[in-house]
Chains A and B, each alone.
Chain A
Amino acid sequence: MTSAPGSRRQQAETLCQVIANRVPDLAGVAHLCTGWRDLAAHLTEAVGLPSTGMAHRADGVEVAIDHGQARVRVALALQWPHRAETVCQDIRATAADAANHVIGVTSCQVHVAIRDVHLPTCGDQPR
């Protein structure tokens, strides 16, 4: 697949949105987690200022594209009883697939940060 047109920044923005849309649908992902890394993006968005960084951030997802490689960070809440390792593998596969098909980048490095966990409520579990 050839590279999609557009600057690296536009590619990062596109990839970021695609990943942010797909990851919450994966089994074992309760939701994406916003962190202090997203605060600058929140502030720029709130007053309509253009962001000047090379990385693009949506809530919980951060994408940078350098030298033909996509670097992705996904922060999420794990849904019990899914295993962290399986969920990480699914997220990596999803991000790599998106990078390849959406912007034509075949090298994708993904960091998965499990920031929270959703457990059954007391009423759901046998005691």
Chain B
Amino acid sequence: MAVTGSLDPPALPCGRLVDSLWQRLDRLATDPHALTCPHCQAAARSLDTLRQTTDRLAAQPVEPPSDLTGRIMAVVRAEIRRGRDLPLPTPGGTASVSEYALAAVLRFAADQVPGVRGRSCGVDPVPGRPGHVRVRMGLAVRYGLPVVQAAEQARERITAAAVHYVGIVIDSLDVAVEDVYQERAEGAPR
């Protein structure tokens, strides 16, 4: 996913990849997991609808709109970028937050510490604990700043932002200072 820098295909909450489900769509009756998994069944129904529609499309001599491919590819790219949905405990109903959205909030929280910039951010759900995650955050720190202090401040901001803005609890937060940067003087050449 985008947050970890890889381009893994989207996965269902049960761990199955949507791509793999698509390839086995005709053989799901022989797959014990898919027969009982609500996520696989819901996805299979949607994929089946998509396939039926695609078959009908293929059978018709129609001229697709010029922007059709672009619109579909924009959706596909956005979905890959946003990553998995993490369960978000909220009163009154169910909710979820994508890995991408959570990582963006956490990076932004780190950015609020003077001299610190959030870089890579990986988020993993804690099994059996909805609303709890483990986070790996890479930071860049301004040259001359006490690194340990800066990292500690960033840690506090990140943890607080996750709870306050998103409603997610960070069980563990591994911070790595990956880089040091030098502030550009005003008017200095780029």
Chain A residues engaging chain B, CB cutoff 8 angstroms: 33-40, 42-44, 46-47, 49, 52-53, 77-78, 80-81, 83-85, 88-89, 92, 109-117, 119, 125, 127
Contact = CB atoms under 8 A, between A and B. Distances in A.
B187 to A, nearest CB: 17
B89 to A, nearest CB: 9
Interface residues of B, number: 45
Contacts of A89: 90-92
Given A85-B167, A125-B112, A113 B105 contact: no
Nearest to B92: A92
B22 to A, nearest CB: 11
Nearest to B79: A36
The 5 closest A-B pairs by CB, nearest first: A112-B95, A114-B97, A117-B101, A40-B50, A88-B90
B167 A46 contact: no
B53 interface: yes
Contact of B93 (A36, A44, A111): A111
Nearest to A53: B49
What is the interface of chain A mostly: helix, strand, loop, or mixed? mixed
Nearest to B82: A115
Interface string B94-107: 11111011001100
B62 interface: yes
Contact of B71 (A42, A80, A84, A125): A42
Contacts of A47: 57, 60, 62, 64
Nearest to B97: A114
B79 A49 contact: no
B158 to A, nearest CB: 14
B155 to A, nearest CB: 19
Given A33-B78, A110-B93, A117-B105, 16 more contacts: A35-B79, A40-B50, A42-B71, A46-B64, A52-B52, A77-B101, A80-B165, A112-B90, A112-B94, A112-B95, A114-B96, A114-B98, A114-B101, A116-B78, A116-B101, A119-B108
